[in-house]
Amino acid sequence: MSENRDHVVDELLEAVWTCREDGQVTVDHCLERAHAEVGMSELIAVQDMGLIIIKNHSVEFTEKGVKRAESIIRRHRLAERLMVDVLGLTSEQSEKMACEFEHAIVPEVTNGICTLLGHPKECPHGKPIPPGEDCKSGRIEVTSALRPLSQVPCSERLLRVAYLRTSDHDRLHQLLSLGFSPGVEIRVHQRTPVLVVQVEQSEFALDYEVAGDIYVWFGEENHR
């Protein structure tokens, strides 16, 4: 399955990145370092995707490859920090969970975690975390939090949607179709008797139960 393949590609890119940090980018090192069951054929497949170049038994990233590897490493190490700092796991436990976690989070959430953790520079093992765009743009390190839309006061502030938490399929589909997708910026105009929310140029009335399923980043705007 292709989802599985993405998984393998990510693992290989991750291995190449860490080998590069150690300065040993031979094919053998890279294969050994990878967390998945992989061999030469997978490595060549990744080369065919235009992500790496294999030359004289050593591996180099292409420009596309670096970007993707950087993103996956960033997710992995931020996940580790989250486990250790916030959830209080040991770094060994965190390592294993982070491997799962890194595949599951979308870019919006990655940046959110980064902001939440105050833009950490290193992972619990002391390795550097590649900075995201928010970190580069010099956003002041702050703590930020997710809140359901039903608990957000009304103001002219733009709030970014983090995710939709709902098991109700029809509700999810309808919200997405109306434009409430993760990453979109919305405003809360009114709270009684129901919420009035602006998405792009449309206003919607939502009841509290529906609004409770829309989680937004709350607080980051103060520090922009």
Contact 145, 219 (CB under 8 A): yes
**Minimum separation from the CB atom of position 181 to other proteins (A):** 5
Please, which residue, 101 or 204, has the CB nearer to other proteins? 204
Site for other proteins contains 138 (CB under 8 A) = no
What DSSP character marks residue 151? G
| DSSP reduced 3-state for 205 | strand
How many CB atoms neighbour CB 211 within 10 A? 21
Separation between Cα atoms, residue 62 and residue 60, nearest integer Å: 7
**Minimum separation from the CB atom of position 15 to other proteins (A):** 22
Stretch that binds other proteins, among 94-102, 109-117, 128-136, 196-204 (CB under 8 A): 196-204
**Minimum separation from the CB atom of position 159 to other proteins (A):** 18
Q: What is the total count of residues that contact other proteins (CB under 8 A)?
A: 33
Residues from 162 through 191 that contact other proteins (CB under 8 A): 168-179, 181, 189-190
Site for other proteins contains 193 (CB under 8 A) = yes
Q: Which of 50, 207, 222, 224 binds other proteins (CB under 8 A)?
A: 207
Site for other proteins contains 6 (CB under 8 A) = yes
The alpha-helical segments, DSSP class H, found in the chain are 2-22, 27-33, 40-48, 63-81, 91-101, 107-116, 133-136, 169-178, 208-211
| DSSP reduced 3-state for 181 | coil
Whether cis (ω within 30° of 0) applies to the bond prior to 193 is yes
Binding site for other proteins (CB under 8 A): 1-3, 6, 168-179, 181, 189-190, 192-194, 196, 200-207, 209-210
